[in-house]
């Protein structure tokens, strides 16, 4: 018994020491990431929370929403500069991402599992847009930002707002329910156990090479644009607060998409879709192909041989889709 107690004491001490070291290293990495990649925009208050945004240009309003784990830098790297001579472009950090707070009412503890739903995100961003004076914006979203854009469109079916969208543009966007389950990465890290154990460890010890490999995987089969990895702030994604918010949003997403898709046949606003035929993250046959069956206003531009980053692989096609959305919405 004495030996067992001693063994348990030593093991407990080792675990505590390891947790303390992980916490110290993790905090240092958070500080380093935020020093290297500080906010590049302004903040607007919504229901006691802060939303980080960048706004450039003049003209009809255009909102850009990034994908899972991203931030405003995804679009300020290149696309905003291609659009700001024609539109007043507002890029938001989605709730819980970058430097934006999560939606009100969610439990942020390490062991919590609830995610910021697409509808709750759209409501928060619509309020931010109202405060900023945006009017009938085109709302364009990449990947996870695509389903938030669709939630924004659904909100307009039931409630009036000057910031209701005039058109939607989906860039490799999540649009429809998908078959099967998500991979183990999201199931584990999105769980209560993952929030307490694996996320702090990954946040503290994931190598720069792992971040680089993750970015490469997102762009495949296209190469990562020169300078993108140094600009976009991948280290921000590994901060425990954003890491948890991101995996919870993705891990709890499908039931929300199922409910949202029931309202899609009511949508009549212009919807432009730009999607790569080799997108393995958000497959073209699961999302835009299925959406077109139930939404008559959806127009698809297929990019042959392109993966999950169409706005980088073919920015001209992306700009053309946004311009077409503006024309279809009567903004031109």
Six token digits for residue 137: 């914006």
Host domain of residue 85: 42-328
Name the strands in the sheet holding 42-46, side by side, starting at the edge strand that comes first in the sequence.
Answer: 42-46, 49-56, 88-92, 61-65, 138-142, 167-171, 271-276, 298-303
Task: Return the residue matching tokens 């934006």.
Answer: 100
From the CA atom positions of the chain, what is the Rg in Å?
21
Q: Give a yes or no: residue 72 inside a domain.
A: yes
State residue 16's pLDDT score.
47
Determine, yes or no, domain membership for 7: no
Residue 192's domain is classified under what CATH number?
3.40.50.1820
| CA dihedral of residues 256, 67, 37, 245 (deg, nearest 10) | 20
Measured from the Cβ of residue 312, the count of other Cβ atoms closer than 10 Å reads: 23
Is 69 inside any structural domain?
yes
Q: Looking at the 3D structure of the chain, how many domains does it have?
A: 1
Give pLDDT < 50 ranges for the chain: 4, 7-17
Q: Is residue 290 part of a domain?
A: yes
């Amino acid at each position: 018994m004495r030996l067992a107690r001693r063994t348990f004491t030593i093991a407990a001490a080792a675990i505590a020491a390891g947790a303390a070291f992980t916490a110290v290293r993790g905090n240092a990495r958070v500080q380093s990431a935020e020093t290297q990649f500080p906010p590049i925009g302004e903040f607007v208050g919504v229901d006691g929370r802060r939303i980080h945004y960048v706004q450039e240009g003049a003209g009809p309003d255009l909102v850009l929403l990034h994908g899972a784990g991203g931030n405003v830098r995804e679009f300020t790297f290149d696309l905003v500069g291609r659009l700001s001579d024609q539109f007043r472009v507002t890029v938001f950090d989605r709730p819980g991402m970058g430097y934006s707070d999560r939606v009100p009412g969610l439990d942020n503890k390490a062991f919590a599992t609830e995610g910021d739903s697409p509808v709750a995100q759209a409501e928060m961003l619509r309020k931010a847009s109202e405060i900023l004076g945006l009017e009938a914006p085109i709302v364009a979203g990449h990947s996870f930002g695509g389903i938030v854009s669709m939630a924004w469109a659904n909100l307009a079916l039931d409630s009036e707002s000057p910031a209701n969208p005039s058109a939607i543009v989906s860039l490799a966007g999540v649009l429809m329910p998908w078959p099967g389950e998500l991979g183990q990465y999201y199931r584990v890290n999105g769980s209560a156990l993952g929030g307490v154990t694996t996320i702090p460890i990954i946040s503290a010890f994931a190598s720069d090479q792992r971040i680089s490999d993750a970015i490469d995987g997102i762009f495949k089969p296209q190469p990562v644009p020169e300078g993108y990895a140094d600009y976009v702030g991948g280290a921000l994604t590994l901060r425990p607060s954003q890491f948890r918010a991101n995996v919870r949003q993705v891990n709890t997403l499908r039931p929300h998409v199922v409910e949202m898709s029931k309202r899609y046949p009511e949508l009549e606003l212009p919807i432009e879709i730009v999607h790569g035929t080799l997108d393995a993250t958000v497959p073209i046959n699961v999302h835009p192909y299925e959406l077109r069956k139930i939404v008559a206003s959806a127009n698809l531009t297929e990019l042959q041989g392109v993966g999950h980053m169409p706005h980088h692989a073919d920015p001209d096609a992306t700009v053309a889709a946004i311009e077409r959305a503006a024309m279809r919405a009567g903004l031109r």
